C-alpha cells in the first residue's frame, strides 16, 4: 500500500475519523499512514495503548500534540530527546517544570517562540523570561499570548518596543489600568483590539466611542458598558457599521432599536436585546409596522403562544419565514404552512427540527423546491433513506447526505467514487454507517473505490 495514496486520498482522511472503523483496519491504516494521516488518527478517542504507541513512535511533533490533546498519552509517556517533541510536551499543562525551563532556554528562537505562543500553564518565571527574550518575535508572542502579572504588564507598557506595547491590547490578562493607558495609542489597530478587550474599563470604552477610526467605534459600540445616552448618540453615527453595532449592544434602548431596524442592516444572528426582552416587551415591539422588526422577534424560539400563532398567520412571508423554523410549531401547522406558502419556504421549513419525515420527502420530490433547500433537507435528522437519495443530484446536498446516519448502503459506492462531489468523499468515509466491506476496499488501492482523483 503506497504512503502517497494514504497521504493524498481525502477518503482515507475521512476513514481515519470514522468512529466505527474496526480495530484491525485501524491498525492497518496506522501502519501505512504518512504524517498528515497520522495526525488525523492521533485525534481519535478510541486508540488502544498499542495504537497510541505506534503513532507516538513516529516522533512527529504535531502527532504527539494530537495524542496529548486527545488524552491517548500522558506527558510523562513521551521521550523528549527530540527538540520538536520536547517543545510540544513542554507546552502542555502539567508538564515537568524542569523540561519547560529547558525548552524556554533553548538556543533556537523558533523553539522558544513556539513555547511562547502555545504554552499553557507555564511557570511565572518562564513567562517573564520569554517576555524579556532578546529576540523580538519570542517576546512579542509571549506578551500577546501568556498571562501577565500586573507588574509585567506595566513593564511592557513602558518598553521601547512598539510591538510589545501593541501586544498588550490583545492579551486577555492585561489589567484595566494598563488598557486605559493604551487608549491614545497612535496605532489605529491597537485601539480596535483594545475596544474588544473584556477587561476594558468604562472610561476607556467612552473614550473609544469618539475615536476617528470607525472600526474602533464599531467595536466599542458593542461593549456592554456603553451608557444608554451614548448609544442614543451613536444611533446617528455616519458609519453604518457603527449603527449596526449599536443594534447589537445588549443595552440598546428599545425605542432606539425600533428606529434603527428599519434603516440599518441587522445581519442574521439574533439581536441580544430581543433575546433578553420580556414577553410584554416583545408584544410592544411587534406592534411596529416595520416587517423586519416583526421578523426579528418572530425568530425567537421561546415565544408565547399568542405571538407564535400570530406570526404563523402573518400576511408577510418574511415574518412567516422567520417563525417557521420554531420547534414549538406542531406538525399539522408545519404542513399547513407548506400548503399555504409552497416551495419558497421549503428551505426554512427544513430547518425546523420537528419537520416530519414525510414532509421532508414531499419537499425533496417537489420539482419546484429550490436547490439550496436540498442541503437543509439532507442535513435534517428526520430525513429517511429515500429522501437522502433524492438529494444526491445537488453537490452541496450530497455533501450533507454523505454524513447522514440514515444514508442507505447503496449510496456509499456512488459518494466514494472518483466523480463524486469532492466534499462528499471524506464525509462518506467518516460516516459510521459505511459498510465494513467498503472500509476494507478504501484501504486496498486495487478496488475501484480507491482510485485516486
- pLDDT at residue 87, rounded to an integer: 92
Residue 159 pLDDT more than 50? yes
CB 271 within 8 A of CB 257: yes
What's the pLDDT score for residue 1?
39
Q: Which of 333, 343, 330, 335 is nearest to 371 (CA)?
A: 343
Assess contact for 431 and 405: CB atoms under 8 A: yes
Give the pLDDT mean for 59-80.
Answer: 89
pLDDT tens digits, one per residue of 426-440: 999 999 999 999 999
**What's residue 451's pLDDT?**
34
Give the model confidence (pLDDT) of 171-214 as tens digits. Answer: 999 999 999 999 888 888 888 889 889 899 999 999 999 999 89
The more confident residue out of 187 and 67 is 67
- Return all residues near 233 (Cβ < 8 A) that are at least 6 apart: none
pLDDT of 187:
85
Q: Is the pLDDT of residue 218 over 60?
A: yes
Cα distance between residue 445 and residue 453, in whole Å: 12
Question: What's the rounded Cα separation, in Å, for the pair 261 and 180?
Answer: 33
Q: What share of the chain is helix, strand, coil (3-state, %, to 5)?
A: 60, 0, 40
pLDDT of 445 strictly over 70: no
Does the pLDDT at position 2 exceed 70?
A: no
pLDDT tens-place string over residues 294-303 = 999 999 999 9
Q: What pLDDT is stored for residue 8 in this prediction?
A: 53
Mean pLDDT (whole number) for 346-365: 97
pLDDT bracket for residue 165 (50, 70, 90): confident
The DSSP output letter for 270 is P
User: In terms of Cα–Cα distance, which of 204, 265, 210, 258 is closest to 233?
Assistant: 210
> Where do the structural domains in the chain lie, given as residue ranges?
196-264, 266-316, 329-416
Residue 286, C-alpha cell as written in the block: 411587534
pLDDT of residue 4 exceeding 70, the answer is no
Note the pLDDT tens digit of each residue in 100-121: 999 999 999 999 999 999 999 9
Residue ranges of alpha helices (H) inside 300-350 are: 305-312, 317-323, 331-341, 346-349
What's residue 195's pLDDT?
87
pLDDT, average across residues 10-30: 95
Can you give the pLDDT at residue 11?
Answer: 92
- The band of 128, judged by pLDDT with boundaries at 50, 70 and 90, is very high
Compute the chain's Rg from CA coordinates. Answer: 28
Contact indicator for 262, 285 with CB cutoff of 8 Å:
no
- C-alpha cell, 39: 495526525
Q: Tell me the whole-structure pTM to 2 decimals.
A: 0.83
What 8-state DSSP symbol labels residue 77? Answer: G
> In this model, does residue 359 exceed pLDDT 70?
yes
Amino acid at each position: 500500500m503506497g504512503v502517497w495514496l494514504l497521504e493524498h486520498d481525502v477518503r482515507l482522511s475521512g476513514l481515519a475519523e470514522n468512529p466505527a472503523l474496526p480495530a484491525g483496519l485501524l491498525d492497518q491504516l496506522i501502519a501505512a499512514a504518512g504524517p498528515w494521516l497520522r495526525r488525523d488518527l492521533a485525534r481519535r478517542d478510541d486508540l488502544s495503548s498499542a495504537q497510541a504507541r505506534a503513532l507516538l513512535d513516529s516522533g512527529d511533533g504535531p502527532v504527539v500534540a494530537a495524542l496529548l490533546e486527545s488524552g491517548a498519552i500522558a506527558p510523562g509517556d513521551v521521550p523528549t530527546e527530540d527538540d520538536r517533541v520536547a517543545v510540544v510536551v513542554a507546552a502542555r499543562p502539567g508538564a515537568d517544570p524542569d523540561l519547560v525551563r529547558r525548552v524556554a532556554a533553548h538556543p533556537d528562537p523558533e523553539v522558544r517562540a513556539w513555547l511562547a505562543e502555545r504554552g499553557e500553564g507555564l511557570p511565572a518565571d518562564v513567562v517573564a523570561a520569554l517576555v524579556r527574550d532578546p529576540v523580538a518575535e519570542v517576546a512579542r508572542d509571549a506578551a500577546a499570548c501568556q498571562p501577565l502579572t500586573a507588574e509585567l504588564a506595566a513593564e511592557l507598557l513602558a518598553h521601547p518596543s512598539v510591538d510589545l506595547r501593541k501586544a498588550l491590547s490583545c492579551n486577555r490578562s492585561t489589567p484595566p489600568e494598563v488598557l486605559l493607558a493604551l487608549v491614545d495609542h497612535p496605532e489605529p489597530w491597537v485601539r480596535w483590539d483594545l475596544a474588544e478587550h473584556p477587561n476594558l474599563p468604562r472610561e476607556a470604552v467612552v473614550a473609544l466611542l469618539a475615536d476617528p477610526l470607525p472600526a474602533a467605534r464599531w467595536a466599542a459600540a458593542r461593549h456592554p458598558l456603553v451608557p444608554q445616552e451614548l448609544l442614543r448618540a451613536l444611533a446617528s453615527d455616519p458609519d453604518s457599521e457603527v449603527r449596526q453595532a449599536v443594534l447589537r449592544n445588549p443595552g440598546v434602548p428599545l425605542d432606539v432599536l425600533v428606529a434603527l431596524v428599519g434603516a440599518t442592516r441587522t445581519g442574521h444572528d439574533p439581536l441580544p436585546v430581543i433575546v433578553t426582552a420580556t414577553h410584554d416587551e416583545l408584544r410592544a415591539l411587534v406592534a411596529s409596522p416595520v416587517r423586519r422588526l416583526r421578523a426579528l422577534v418572530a425568530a425567537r424560539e421561546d415565544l408565547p403562544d399568542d405571538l407564535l400563532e400570530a406570526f404563523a398567520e402573518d400576511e408577510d412571508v418574511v415574518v412567516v419565514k422567520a417563525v417557521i423554523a420554531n420547534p414549538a410549531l406542531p406538525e399539522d401547522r408545519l404542513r399547513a404552512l407548506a400548503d399555504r406558502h409552497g416551495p419558497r419556504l421549503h428551505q426554512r421549513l427544513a430547518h425546523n427540527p420537528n419537520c416530519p419525515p414525510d414532509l421532508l420527502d414531499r419537499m425533496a420530490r417537489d420539482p419546484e423546491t429550490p436547490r439550496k433547500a436540498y442541503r437543509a433537507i439532507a442535513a435534517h435528522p428526520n430525513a429517511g433513506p429515500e429522501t437522502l437519495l433524492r438529494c444526491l443530484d445537488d453537490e452541496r446536498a450530497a455533501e450533507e447526505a454523505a454524513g447522514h446516519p440514515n444514508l442507505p448502503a447503496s449510496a456509499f459506492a456512488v459518494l466514494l467514487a472518483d466523480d463524486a462531489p469532492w466534499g462528499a468523499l471524506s464525509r462518506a468515509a467518516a460516516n459510521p454507517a459505511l459498510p465494513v466491506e467498503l472500509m476494507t476496499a478504501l484501504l486496498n488501492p486495487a478496488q475501484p473505490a480507491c482510485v485516486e482523483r
